[in-house]
Amino acid sequence: MPIKHSGAFLLLSLGLGATAPTTAFSNDAGSHDVGTYDLAEIVVTASRRAENAFLMPYMINVRGMEELQIVRQVRTIPDALRDLPGVMIQKTGHGQGSPFIRGFTGLRTLFLIDGIRLNNSTFREGPNQYWNTVDPLSTYRLELVKGPTSVLYGSDAIGGTVNAISRSYRDVSLASGVQWRLYARAATAESSAVLRPEVGYKGRRFDVIAAVSLKDFGDLEAGHDLGTQPKTGYDEQDAELKFHYNLTANQRVTAAIQHVDQDDAWRVHKTIFGKSWRGTTVGDELRRSLSQQRTLSYLQYRGVDVTPWLDELALSLSVHDQDETRHRTRADQRTDIQGTDVQTTGFFGHLVMPSAAGTFTAGAEFYHDEVESFRSDYNADGTLRGVRIQGPVADDATYQTAAVFLQNQIAYGERTDLTLGFRYTQSEADAKGVEDPLTGGRIRVKDDWSAATLSARFNHRLHTSGGTALFGGVSQGFRAPNLSDLTRFDTARSNEIETPVSTLDSEEFITYEFGIKHAGARWNSQAAVYYTTIDDMVIRTPTGRIIDGDTEITKKNSGNGFVKGIEVQARYQLSDAWSVFGNASWMDGEVDTFPTSDPVLVREPIDRLMTLSANGGFRWHPEDGAWWAEGQVGFADEQDRLSTRDRSDTDRIPPGGTPAYTVLTLRGGWHLSNELSVSAAIENLFDKNYRVHGSGVNEPGTNLIISLLWTSQ
């Protein structure tokens, strides 16, 4: 049973076999149950239309607003995905989390905001910080679909696709008129304080919500024998405005703007302020900090039951501006300030048409990036040494992608659905301001790529009434080279510098998956086994040259290999008040790489391979009760299967690998009145000193988190 907050949340009860909403103004999905997952959840990401998760041929996880804010009280979007099977949250810094999903991260995982791509052409190889620029307090629900979804969403959708569906006033209030809402959160090990005031209005035909999030994160306190990690704190300010207008009973227009400003988030492990842990080295830089701004504006239309032959029509037009600035001061006090400004114009549209041959979903999308990049170098005395041709990627560059797609869901009898999909994508890069690493002169890099992608998946219910279903299939994925692949001139991993390359081909992936789901009155579970082939992956290749003290690396389409794994997740309702839950995942993967400057390929484990992980616990929540409580144990095994680059990343990975850890968390909450609720958690109860594999900071020690939610009535 969901925690009831008397109008603070709109909670929908969705039974197994429930059909998709029949009006545009029903929520696409209900709020998620407290800390659990529900296979009767209605999701939109897996097929671009609202469908029951039990009927989808994928492993799907959903985390709703109630779980994000009240139960887990998450600090960032990456933290919201923590403890899910097949997901590992690497943190280069306290403000820079990057999920690894089925072995892939960065530019091989796709993030959407209300269906609009966060990914742009400057996203770099390996972990990056961009998912941290999405405010979890503005999110109504997160939907994670694992495995390639390139047919529906294009390049980058390899390890998985996450869609953050933003909140509207109808999501937080049943009442008409004006309502105020105040959310506050504080945490001891983060020395943090978060305050979010918001106001909403709902009328007969329209609703609007406006909010700001003010965040102050102090230096992070690690486990008992490491203590405070200096320079890990940062500030963030977020704002949003979202407006819905009902054109008719079945047609809606949405306009929204979101802004995020994150200041002075350090990569401490590269600096003298880092702390050695289990033999890791400490950097010699005096400063390595990053500031980011992101503004998304969009206008969207959605209609359902538009005509007898058109079930749904959706259109979206967006402008997305993402800026970042990095400040680096070396040991000799030389400084460089560099950054990028990416403005993306995006459009997508799709329609859903039922027919005797199946239910067709057809659509098109177009994204165009305008990229400016800069770098200025300063001497130790602060005088300007020079202005470079480019920053981390090319200056005066464009990148655009156009695609069409078609998917058909075919029913065979009453128990089997077959989903077939096709996509054609055309991508083009034109980078006019690229610095030649050999001559220092200005060169131009221009290229284009095309890809046809197929998918065939099935869902077979063992009984007409539902209950248990088999699912799986074969899905292709691809990733076209982006501006980061082609033109990056910037530090990569520890003591490496990445330089531009003239031509690259697209990466190709194929995932084979088979799984089983069960949804019953007391028992919910899902499990899957998968195998992903990797062909022509763009890998970093040492050239043997040294640039400014760092080893030069470039890129080649030489990475062939695989990732395979098993994921299991379950929840059992012991009684009306008590339930137990758990999940586990195991994966392995290898890829061809160049471990030295010699042109010899070697098959090695993939970088930052997720180890055997498991989570489990209990939940107590009496029906119609004002109290709830939860206990959870998380475990990650030692990771000593290291690639050559893992072993050389001595700032982040201890000699011999990352140690195992077990962490205990207790959570609880109390609904004091119709207007006020309070939640609390003690994370890492025994003050374990640990870090997630590949991270540059250790996780918090014993951390008391308290949050309050007040709503006007």
Q: Long-range contacts of range 681-687, CB-CB < 8 Å, 24 or more positions apart?
A: 681/72, 681/73, 681/705, 683/189, 684/189, 684/223, 687/223, 687/224
Question: How confident is the model at residue 37, as a pLDDT?
Answer: 53
CA distances to 5, 408, 592, 708 from 295, rounded to whole Å, are 31, 35, 39, 28
Segment (H or E) for 150? helix 150-153
Cα gap 200→211, rounded to integer Å: 9
**30-39, 190-199, 301-310: lowest mean pLDDT where?**
30-39
Question: Burial of 544 by CB count in 10 Å (0-12 exposed, 13-18 middle, 19+ buried)?
Answer: exposed
Q: Between 597 and 103, whose confidence is greater?
A: 103
The residues, ordered by sequence, that sit 6+ positions from 380 with a Cβ below 8 Å of its Cβ are: 332, 333, 334
362 φψ region: left (φ > 0), alpha (ψ -120 to 50), beta (else):
beta
pLDDT value at 245 more than 50: yes
Q: What is the DSSP letter of 598?
A: S
Is it the case that residue 115 has pLDDT exceeding 60?
Answer: yes
The most confident of 22-36, 41-55, 613-627, by mean pLDDT = 613-627
pLDDT-derived band of residue 395, with 50, 70 and 90 as boundaries?
A: very high
Is the separation of the CB atoms in 508 and 524 below 8 Å? Answer: no
| Residue 392 burial (CB count, 10 A) | 22
Quick one: tokens of 195? Answer: 């305050």
Torsion sign across C-alpha atoms 47, 50, 53, 55: negative
Tokens coding 31 = 């709020």
- 3-class state of residue 609 by DSSP: coil
Per DSSP, the residues of 382-399 read S-EEEE-S-SSS-EEEEE
The CA distance from 24 to 160, in Å, is 27
Which of 548 and 446 is assigned the larger pLDDT?
446
User: Which residue shows structure tokens 């990771």?
Assistant: 639
Residue 378 token pair = 């300063």
Between the alpha carbon of residue 485 and those of residues 286, 340, 644, the distances in Å are 28, 15, 21
For 614, the token pair is 């498991």
Q: Distance between CA 216 and CA 592 in Å, rounded?
A: 43
Three-class DSSP labels, 102-133: CCECHHHCEEEECCEECCCCCCCCCCCCHHHH
- Strand, helix or coil at 77? helix
SS (H, E, C) 396-417: EEEEEEEEEEEEEEEEECCCEE
Kindly indicate the confidence band of residue 440, based on its pLDDT and cuts at 50, 70 and 90. confident
What domains, with CATH codes, occur in the chain? 42-711 (2.40.170.20)
Q: Are 89 and 81 in contact (CB under 8 A)?
A: yes
Which one is predicted more confidently, 19 or 536?
A: 536
Least confident range from 313-317, 407-411, 541-545: namely: 541-545
**Cα 508 from Cα 197, distance rounded (Å):** 45
The 3-state DSSP class for residue 326 equals strand
Taking the C-alpha atoms of residue 84 and residue 80, their distance in angstroms, rounded to an integer, is: 9
Q: What is the mean pLDDT of the chain?
A: 90
pLDDT in tens, 505-552: 999 999 999 999 999 889 999 999 999 999 999 988 877 777 777 777
DSSP 285: B
Q: With bands split at pLDDT 50, 70 and 90, how would you rate the model's confidence at 492?
A: low
Token pair listed for 492: 């990569």
CA angle, 142 then 148 then 154, to 5°: 85
pLDDT band at 25 (very low <50, low <70, confident <90, very high): very low
According to the model, what pLDDT value does residue 524 have?
93
Backbone angles phi, psi at 306, to 5 degrees: -65, -45
pLDDT mean over 625-649 = 94
CA 387/CA 376 separation, integer angstroms: 5
Give the burial class of 391: count Cβ atoms within 10 A of its Cβ; 0-12 exposed, 13-18 middle, 19 or more buried.
buried
- 628: DSSP letter: E
Per this entry, what is the length of the chain?
Answer: 713
Query: 370, exposed or middle or buried, with CB in 10 Å at 0-12, 13-18, 19+?
Result: middle
Q: What is the distance between the alpha carbons of residues 567 and 582, in angstroms, rounded to a whole number?
A: 11
Number of other CB atoms surrounding residue 590 within 10 Å:
18
CB of 391 closer than 8 Å to CB of 403: no
Count CB neighbours of 200 within 10 A.
Answer: 24
pLDDT for 2 equals 34
For residues 210 and 178, give the distance between their C-alpha atoms in angstroms, rounded to a whole number. Answer: 11
What is the DSSP secondary-structure string of 195-221?
EEEEEEEE-SSEEEEEEEEEEEE--EE
pLDDT at position 23 is: 32
Q: Mind spelling out the 3-state secondary structure of 523-555?
A: EEEEEEEEEEEEEEEEEEEEEEEEECCEEEEEE
* Spatial distance between the Cα atoms of 309 and 32, rounded to a whole number of angstroms: 32
- Does residue 125 surpass a pLDDT of 70? yes
**Nearest alpha-carbon partner for 293 in 265, 321, 261:** 261
CA 431 from centre of chain: 28
Confidence of residue 493 (pLDDT cuts 50, 70, 90): low
Q: Compute the average pLDDT of residues 368-378.
A: 97
Amino acid at 52: N
Non-local (6+) Cβ contacts of 355 within 8 A are none
Is residue 391 within 8 Å of 340, Cβ to Cβ?
yes
- Cβ–Cβ < 8 Å for 298, 322: no
∠ Cα 697 699 705 (to 5°): 135
Burial grade of 596 (CB within 10 A; 0-12, 13-18, 19 or more): exposed
Residue 463 CA neighbour count, 13 Å, CB half: 9
Residue 248 tokens, joined: 């008719």
Which of these, 283, 277, 282, 284, lies nearest to 657 by C-alpha position? 277
Confidence band (pLDDT; 50, 70, 90) for 103? very high
pLDDT tens figures, 667-710 = 999 999 889 999 999 999 999 999 999 999 999 999 999 999 99
pLDDT for res 258: 98
Kind of pairing between the strands at 550-573 and 523-547: antiparallel
Confirm if 67 and 667 have CB atoms less than 8 A apart. Answer: no
pLDDT digits (tens, 9 = 90+) for 693-704: 999 999 999 999
Q: Which amino acid is at 494?
A: S
* Confidence (pLDDT) at 494: 59
For the record, the structure tokens of 537 come out as 């992956």
Nearest one of 612, 609, 610, 628 to 620, comparing CA atoms: 628
- Reported confidence tier of residue 600, pLDDT bands at 50, 70, 90: confident
